[in-house]
Amino acid sequence: MIYTVTLNPALDYVVHIDSFNEGSVIKSTNSYTSAGGKGINVSRVLKTLGSPSKALGFVGGFTGKAIVDAMAKEQIEADFEQLEGETRINVKLKSGQETEINGVSPDITDANFTNFQKKLEQINENDTVVLAGSVPATLPETVYATLTKLIHNRGAHVFLDTSGAGLREGLKAAPDFIKPNHQELGELYDTSVDSISDAVRLAKRIQTDFGVTHILISMAGDGALYVSGKKVIHAHAPKGTVINSVGAGDSFTAGFIHQFKKHDTVEDALKLAISTGSATAFSAGLCDRETVEALVPTIELQGLNEEGIS
Ligand SMILES: Nc1ncnc2c1ncn2[C@@H]1O[C@H](COP(=O)(O)OP(=O)(O)O)[C@@H](O)[C@H]1O
Ligand SMILES: O=P(O)(O)OC[C@H]1O[C@](O)(COP(=O)(O)O)[C@@H](O)[C@@H]1O
């Protein structure tokens, strides 16, 4: 079974405008809401690809109810801990450029967290648990390390997709898979990633410093890297018109796990990951299966040496 954990879900409010002028009244040309937050998006895309999953995390208020209703409508199993406050609204402004205003997370009490941890007792050996998204303000930065240890004790694998302090602390518990994007990777070592070889060098440092087995680095239009042991693979992203890249990273994660859980090669998993991420980037909302399947045969992989050179 695949579980997704979203500690900090969001109702995404996607607003299209012709141009953004600060201080003026702007009429949107199109807008919609979407149940979001990283683990929730992963569950939604897994469903599209044909993998069942169960979504765990915290929701509250009318925004939380909108998420619960959306999951039920899409027939995705979910078991969220209910909070007193309201799940945040994240505004995604599309004006040619993409601007994001992410809301404030509701409070999570000690009792809420204890109830949530009880839900993790259903996890069994060989399950995969995706821990994804930012750490809410009322939880400690070490929360992903705590959860990773707990999940490892139950014999399951952990896929961690987060950034900043949550990633830095989470790495200390050696999750099995991580997927920072190239900016998040740079932030981890207080540097910038300006080339594929920069990304490979830092991925190798993560191997040495934290002992993570499968390191995926997504790089938007530059595709993605997979680093494990001595293996280094660069997957090229297909060319296309980007309509909405919100959820592209989560779609990439879903594509990788869907294929990897079938015991296919990492090469096949990487091809599906790129196809799924790019299919979402080329779509108005999250991807559909036809768009993903059409991209798979177009994806090119390139083996690199440990310096990131072909
Ligand atoms: N401009 C783009 N062109 C083609 N594919 C893209 C583009 N942006 C994102 N993608 C696809 O989505 C995946 C994840 O994108 P990325 O922006 O790196 O993730 P995140 O949303 O986590 O920052 C990429 O590996 C790629 O497959
Ligand atoms: O938890 P975070 O890091 O604030 O991110 C939440 C946002 O990320 C998303 O999950 C999209 O993530 P990606 O674009 O990285 O796939 C949105 O649905 C949500 O608004």
What is the 191 CA–ligand 1 centroid distance (Å)? 21
The count of residues in the chain is: 310
Spatial distance between the Cα atoms of 12 and 88, rounded to a whole number of angstroms: 9
Q: Is 173 left (phi over 0), alpha (psi -120 to 50) or beta?
A: alpha
> What is the value of ipTM here, to two decimals?
0.98
Q: Is the CB of 90 under 6 A from ligand 2?
A: yes
Q: Is residue 218 part of a domain?
A: yes
Q: What is the pLDDT of residue 302?
A: 95
Catalytic residue, from 18, 79, 107, 250: name it: 250
pTM above 0.95, yes or no: yes
Specify whether 79 is catalytic: no
Q: In what order do the strands lie in the sheet with 10-16?
A: 30-36, 10-16, 88-94, 98-101
Residue 227 structural domain:
2-9+37-88+105-304
Cβ 90 vs Cβ 12: under 8 Å:
yes
Q: What is the pLDDT of residue 305?
A: 82
Q: Is residue 190 part of a domain?
A: yes
Q: What is the pLDDT of residue 194?
A: 95
Q: Is residue 238 part of a domain?
A: yes
Q: What is the pLDDT of residue 306?
A: 84
Q: What is the pLDDT of residue 210?
A: 98
Q: Is residue 30 part of a domain?
A: no
Q: Is residue 96 part of a domain?
A: no
Q: Is the CB of 134 under 6 A from ligand 2?
A: yes
Q: Burial level of 66, CB count in 10 A (0-12/13-18/19+)?
A: middle
Tokens standing for residue 202 = 């830092």
Q: Is residue 27 part of a domain?
A: no
Tell which atom from ligand 2 comes closest to the C-alpha of 163: 3
Here the CATH number for the domain that contains residue 278 is 3.40.1190.20
Q: How many domains does the chain have?
A: 1
What is the 63 CA–ligand 1 centroid distance (Å)? 27
Q: Is residue 58 part of a domain?
A: yes
Q: Is residue 14 part of a domain?
A: no
The tens-digit pLDDT sequence of the chain (310 residues) is 999 999 999 999 999 999 998 999 999 999 999 999 999 999 999 999 999 999 999 999 999 999 999 999 999 999 999 999 999 999 999 998 889 999 999 999 999 999 999 999 999 998 999 999 999 999 999 999 999 999 999 999 999 999 999 999 999 999 999 999 999 999 999 999 999 999 999 999 999 999 999 999 999 999 999 999 999 999 999 999 998 899 999 999 999 999 999 988 999 999 999 999 999 999 999 999 999 999 999 999 999 888 888 8
